Amino acid sequence: MIIVTTAEYNTLWENYYSNYRNVASPLRKLTLFKWLYNNYINLHLSCVDTSEVLRLADFKTSLALVDTAVDDSCDYASFIEKNGGDQFSCEMLSMLNNADKIASGVYISSPSGLDNNMYVKITFDIFSDLLGTHVMSLPRYNDFRGEFYLAMRNVAASMEFSYLVNRNQIAYPYSLVIQNKSPSTMVAVLSILDLMASESFDASELGKAIALFKMADIIAMLNNAVNTWKKEIIERDYSSPVISLALEKKLVKFSDFEKISTEKMEENLSPLPEIINDQLNNILLSMEEFVKSYEIKSFDASMFINNYRTYAFESQRKQRQVSQNIFI
């Protein structure tokens, strides 16, 4: 079990990262998680008690670290092969699917052939400490634990979809990729975490709130796609919405990844992020229409939408300024 050394680290996520960086993909820099932490300080529901904002940002960044660890185990081909292949991916997915059992301390991780895999062990230690010690301490944990773990399983299903797309190299319709990929950004998971720290939230509005959270997941996923598609060419992540759209439009074929340079591939795909950006803006408009039809009184839904509009704009602006990709 990971022990937090507060004398050395101010946050949980920094302590977790000090262990994770020893096994992580070289693309997963500290910069990513610092950026996420600073964003999560602002990306929270208006009903969250002020005293909980920093603690929640810390928990969210820690969950994002686990999310990143599992994501790489599902869609980064060479990294998967290095760590044990299909067995490795399945064990990492099993952690998300059994998050409730991990929190309760009854999950047993015993993958044959992966006994000495430090990536699996470190991810499990982080996840079990975070859930079993910290997330369970939130004041309304028991009120929303069912929805929280269901959302976590949806994240696992999303990543399993990516894993199967990449293993089988099947070109799925772009619309189906969007439908299946969106939970992976964990907006629903992290927003339910907010509800666990919101004494004023009316539980009778949970259904409307989760519907809105899932729409925001699509925004975050599409924004992520626009910012990470060049990295995903290198990783050969065929579940990337940009690559999926290119395959659907027959701009590229699977075989092209074996014979076309990265630079040429980027050139072929370069018009597609703008198309995805247009879709992103349309979904933001749909969210606004949703909150007009389904009024939510427990938190400021318009502020929630505007936060994600700002998040998308700022992250794309920053991506244009720096060459190093810092997004999940």
For the chain, give the percent of residues with pLDDT over 70: 90
pLDDT (average), residues 308-316: 68
Between residues 129 and 77, the one the model is more confident about: 129
CA-based diameter of the chain, in Å? 57
Residue 20 lies in a domain: yes
Asked whether 160 and 72 are in contact (CB, 8 A), the reply is: no
* Residue 268: φ, ψ to 5°: -65, -35
Measured distance CA(183)–CA(267) in Å, rounded: 29
Whether 305 is in a domain gets the answer yes
pLDDT for the residue numbered 111? 60
Q: Is residue 7 part of a domain?
A: no
Secondary structure (3-state) at 47: coil
- The reported pLDDT for the residue numbered 116 is 77
Domain that holds residue 212: 12-321
Q: What angle do CA 185, 327, 320 make, to 5 degrees?
A: 130
3-state secondary structure of 278: helix
Nearest to 313 by CA among 266, 289, 277, 270: 277
Alpha-helix residue ranges (DSSP H) falling in the chain: 12-20, 30-42, 53-75, 77-83, 86-97, 99-104, 118-129, 141-168, 174-181, 187-196, 206-235, 241-248, 256-259, 262-269, 272-293, 301-321
CATH code of residue 264: 1.10.600.10
pTM metric for this prediction: 0.87
pLDDT reported for residue 312: 64
Q: Does some domain include residue 63?
A: yes
- Note whether residue 107 is domain-resident: yes
User: What are the tens digits of pLDDT across the range 109-124?
Assistant: 666 666 678 999 999 9
Q: Are 5 and 300 in contact (CB under 8 A)?
A: no
pLDDT value at 152 more than 90: yes
Indicate whether 147 belongs to any domain. yes
User: What percentage of residues in the chain have a pLDDT greater than 90?
Assistant: 59
Write out the DSSP string of 250-264: TS--TTHHHHS-HHH
In a domain, 4, yes or no: no
**313 has pLDDT over 80:** no
Least-confidence region, from 117-126, 138-147, 265-274 = 265-274
Judge whether 81 lies within some domain: yes
Number of domains in the chain: 1
Q: What is the mean pLDDT of residues 176-183?
A: 93
Q: What is the 3-state secondary structure (H, E, C) of 216-252?
A: HHHHHHHHHHHHHHHHHHHHCCCCCHHHHHHHHCCCC
- Reported as a pLDDT band with limits 50, 70 and 90, residue 265 is confident
Residues 101-106 have a mean pLDDT of 94
The model's confidence at residue 20, banded by pLDDT at 50, 70 and 90, is very high
pLDDT at position 237, please? 83
pLDDT digits (tens, 9 = 90+) for 208-239: 999 999 999 999 999 888 888 888 888 788 88
| DSSP conformation letters of 172-183 | --HHHHHHHHGG
| pLDDT of 315 strictly over 70 | no
